[in-house]
Amino acid sequence: MHTSHLVVETREIAPVEDLLAYADPARPLAWLRRGDGIVAVGEPLAEIRPPAGGEERRGAALATVWRGMTAEAEVDDAVGLPGSGLVAFGALAFDEGSAADSVLVVPTQVLGRHGDRFWRTSIRLASAPENREPLAEQPYGAHWAGTVGPGAQTPQGYQDSVRRALDRIADGELSKVVLARDLTGSIPAGSDLRRLVRALSTGYPDTWAFAVDGLIGASPETLVTVQGGTVTARVLAGTIGRGADADADTAASAHLASSTKDLDEHQYAVQSVLASLRPHTRALAASEQPFLLKLPNLFHLATDVEGELATGESALDLARALHPTAAVAGTPTAAAISAIRELEPFDRGRYAGPVGWVDAAGNGEWAIALRCAQFTAAADDIRVTAYAGAGIVAGSDPESELLETRVKFRPLVDALA
């Protein structure tokens, strides 16, 4: 082995009150759900970005580099829980044609929690000295507020795009397309971005709260989880806002559960996930009927899928194979992507792309980057672009779809305020 290989050590530690308190305030790296998860501490060891315009698809290029790094790594993991050992955080662009890059970030230190167990992982080059520094919390910075307003796609423009999509559906070009709109704005320079991650993580505990390379959000939708050869995925498609009181809530959930439009949209999404996973799995199964997933601000139709991995692929490979699902692109996929490129007046960047982590054994958890915003440091402030979308099928109403995007923007807009 040469001296550039990685040496990794994971050890159990005493409980940590708040994992995020140890993250970098300006560039947090985090993956949290119901208090469990992993958070990077300190400067990253490496940021792997595929070359623009390379021959290999970008997600594939990342997976190739990761396989090379992990093959040579010395991993001493005394914990053996999801997220322990050698891990990288990742975010992939939605569209191969996007100007945004896909990235895998390898941290130098990770703090993790799984139930009542906590650990610390250190990752270094074999030629570098061991880091025996005690961990230090970084006090949270002052509260901040951001301002966001209509981006490239105005509310009126969005409804016009929905109408144009409905024309294409009527012409038989496609049966479903997911159209997004954007909000743009800024937050003060030097803002502690961990505050946003913490607000989303505590306000929406059943979602994956994530922060990877300036992409921060709270996704309700698991793209794929791989743990010890078992593959699981949760499909969400079909949405309705929560009611103002118990009766209205019950009426809303009953409406969603019996809505032909939403059930059809959901079935498209489930079938697309099954079709993508089949070549990589054996004994693949999905629940027969969707269940209602209740979030603080809306209901989703949800279906869980489970199978056994038949090939030696990683969670990152499967995330690539599954993306883009019908839930974020449409059906058929190629026609939907082409319609999105024409009907959305902006580049989605990493919105609706895979976000998550992968370990040396190929285990990992990947969600779809929804309810999120990309933060980019500018000369005198931090630029913010937030995104939300809705699935358009025959019978969709432009005004209702616009309202659905408003509901989906709320977690982020509330947290930014």
Confidence of residue 56 (pLDDT cuts 50, 70, 90): low
Report the pLDDT averaged over residues 201-210: 94
DSSP E strands in 213-297: the ranges are 215-219, 222-227, 230-241, 281-286, 291-294
Most confident of the following: 102-106, 261-265, 281-285, 331-335: 102-106
pLDDT of residue 55: 53
Residue 259 has pLDDT above 60, yes or no: yes
Find the range with the poorest average confidence among 76-90, 143-157, 236-250, 364-378. Answer: 236-250
Report the pLDDT averaged over residues 180-192: 96
DSSP E strands in 71-126: the ranges are 74-77, 87-91, 103-114, 117-125
d(CA 146, CA 47): 28
The sign one gets for the Cα dihedral 187, 191, 196, 202 is: negative
- Contact present, 223 and 325 (Cβ < 8 Å): yes
Report the pLDDT averaged over residues 44-64: 81
Residue 324 has pLDDT above 80, yes or no: yes
pLDDT of residue 78: 95
**DSSP tag of 16:** -
Residue 52 has pLDDT above 80, yes or no: no
pLDDT of residue 3: 62
pLDDT of residue 59: 79
Find the range with the poorest average confidence among 49-58, 108-117, 296-305. Answer: 49-58
Residue 400 has pLDDT above 80, yes or no: yes
Q: Tell me the per-residue pLDDT of 329-379, one tens digit each, with 9 for 90 and over.
A: 998 999 999 999 999 999 999 999 999 999 999 999 999 999 999 999 999
pLDDT of residue 190: 95
d(CA 352, CA 88): 19
pTM score, whole prediction = 0.91
Confidence of residue 268 (pLDDT cuts 50, 70, 90): confident
- Contact present, 295 and 206 (Cβ < 8 Å): yes
pLDDT of residue 241: 87
The sign one gets for the Cα dihedral 53, 57, 59, 62 is: negative
Phi-psi region of 270 (alpha: psi -120 to 50; beta: other; left: phi over 0): alpha
Q: What percent of the chain has pLDDT over 70?
A: 98
Q: What is the set of active-site residues?
A: 176, 221
d(CA 135, CA 155): 47
